[in-house]
Amino acid sequence: TWSAVPAGPPDPILGVTEAFKADKDPRKINLGVGAYRDENGKPYVLTSVQKAEELVAASKPDKEYLPITGLAEFTKNAAKLAYGAESAPLKQGAIAVTQSISGTGALRIGGAFIGRHYPKAKVIYLPTPSWGNHTPIFRDSGLEVRGYRYFDKSTVGLDFEGMKADLKAAPEHSIVLLHACAHNPTGIDPTHAQWKEISDLVKEKNLFPFFDMAYQGFATGSISNDAFAVRHFVAEGHQVALAQSFAKNMGLYGERVGAFSLVTADPEEKARVDSQLKIVIRPMYSNPPLHGARIANAILSDAALYAEWETEVKSMADRIISMRETLYNTLTHDLKTPGEWGHIKSQIGMFSFTGLTAPQTKALAEKAHVYMTADGRISMAGLNSKNIEHFATSVDAAVRG
């Protein structure tokens, strides 16, 4: 039956983990996967999450199905976290929101909803480069995927002029995907002033902004700072789409907790959009999982737990920032590695686009047992005080060839 099915290519990121697992050298380092690791290189379950889990367990909840759009209290709190308690459409009851299977599921619901109900355009513009899953998610949603310039190789920074030119040239009403903060894979975000310009341009060209916020709190360590772009756009009157993930900021990766929302014109429009979100979701997976949403909601709805969580998010962000400092100093001052490494410090969030070439990343894996994706992206969270020396000297050797 399946004799004509061709073998597909392996996933580029999960392939890195496979190679890492097969390596028996004790110095090996995995910088491929985008999951936070603590100072000992171990997965980290947040204390606030552990406490929330205890609260949930103590309440002895049932295991009944959730409604199609999920745990209502959770989605209300998730929207408040993203848009801010003072958001006008939130206060007005004009934001349609549904629970989702983490950020991926939120993007997929958004793609499907837009594909069905947004008649003005079927084209979505993604930054070049973007998270590798964006293209298949939106392609499988029936949209045509195009790119806008984002990364400038020569400066290892934002190609702001190229980005603006490409958005200006996009057909009216096109959908434009924006990483709300901590752009993956480059670690390069627009400044607040640049976001304001982007907002004006999106308005002028009648583009439809779709935010992917997978790292709220992880970029600067501040929940509200990291929501700047989303909140600015909404304050400027944009009716945005938003995909939220709690994988990184609550460390709930495998629990699959997320939300998808659409800002609508008014509560009546919201009610119609809600009804159609249900019709999109029902045949996909009926209703979302319970446990993770209960944990996230326990944190978001309790002032003391929320404060503890915010501190923990900040400590994860701070550890990453300190690894950036150490790596920069080691390469630039101690090893005098050829090249300019300022971007390691200026980039934001979990990832850094090192500028290492595909042959250099290959040499790092083969000679130094250091694993990263072939585009030279590293997960800063995989570095710690015990392995950073080995990493820096290996990069130095790879660069010197």
- List, by residue number, the catalytic residues: 131, 212, 248
- Map the footprint of ligand PMP across residues 250-309, applying CB under 6 A: 253, 258
Q: Is 264 helix (H, G, I), strand (E, B) or coil?
A: coil
Strands (E), 247-392: 257-263, 351-353, 370-371, 377-379
**Which CB atom, from 244 or from 354, has the smaller least distance to ligand PMP?**
244
Q: Segment near ligand PMP (CB under 6 A), from 15-23, 54-62, 96-104, 149-157? A: 96-104
Residues 6 or more apart whose Cβ sits within 8 Å of residue 373: 12, 13, 16, 32, 185, 361
Q: Segment near ligand PMP (CB under 6 A), from 22-30, 159-167, 245-253, 262-270? A: 245-253
Of the candidates 214, 234, 295, 296, which one interacts with ligand PMP according to CB under 6 A? 214
User: Computed from CA positions of residues 137, 141, 146, 147, in that sequence, does the dihedral angle turn out positive or negative?
Assistant: negative
376: left (phi over 0), alpha (psi -120 to 50) or beta: left
State yes or no: residue 210 binds ligand PMP (CB under 6 A).
no
State yes or no: residue 34 binds ligand PMP (CB under 6 A).
yes
Site string for ligand PMP, 155-194 (x = CB under 6 A): ------------------------x----x----------
Cβ(108)–Cβ(277) below 8 Å? no
Q: Assess whether the previous peptide bond of 43 is cis (omega < 30° from 0).
A: no
How many residues sit close enough to ligand PMP to count as binding (CB under 6 A)? Answer: 13
Rounded to 5 degrees, what are φ and ψ at 27? -85, 0
Q: In angstroms, what is the minimal distance from the CB of 377 to ligand PMP? A: 11
Q: In angstroms, what is the minimal distance from the CB of 150 to ligand PMP? A: 13
**Which CB atom, from 134 or from 369, has the smaller least distance to ligand PMP?**
134
**Which CB atom, from 247 or from 368, has the smaller least distance to ligand PMP?**
247
Of the candidates 166, 212, 226, 255, which one interacts with ligand PMP according to CB under 6 A? 212
Of the candidates 75, 99, 102, 216, which one interacts with ligand PMP according to CB under 6 A? 102
State yes or no: residue 131 binds ligand PMP (CB under 6 A).
yes
Q: In angstroms, what is the minimal distance from the CB of 201 to ligand PMP? A: 22
Residues 6 or more apart whose Cβ sits within 8 Å of residue 78: 97, 99, 244, 246, 259, 261, 296, 300
The pair of structure tokens assigned to 280 is: 């999109």
Q: Which amino acid is at 29?
A: I
End-to-end CA distance of the chain: 49
**CA–CA separation, 339 and 349 (whole Å):** 22
Q: Segment near ligand PMP (CB under 6 A), from 77-85, 99-107, 115-123, 232-240? A: 99-107
**Which CB atom, from 34 or from 187, has the smaller least distance to ligand PMP?**
34
Q: How far is CA 48 from CA 51, 228, 296, in A?
A: 5, 25, 10
Of the candidates 104, 347, 352, 361, which one interacts with ligand PMP according to CB under 6 A? 104
Task: Fill in the DSSP letter of residue 216.
Answer: T
- Map the footprint of ligand PMP across residues 327-386, applying CB under 6 A: none
Q: Segment near ligand PMP (CB under 6 A), from 85-93, 97-105, 194-202, 315-323? A: 97-105
Cβ(31)–Cβ(383) below 8 Å? yes
Q: Which spans of this chain sit near ligand PMP (rule: CB under 6 A)?
A: 34, 102-104, 131, 179, 184, 212, 214, 245, 247, 253, 258
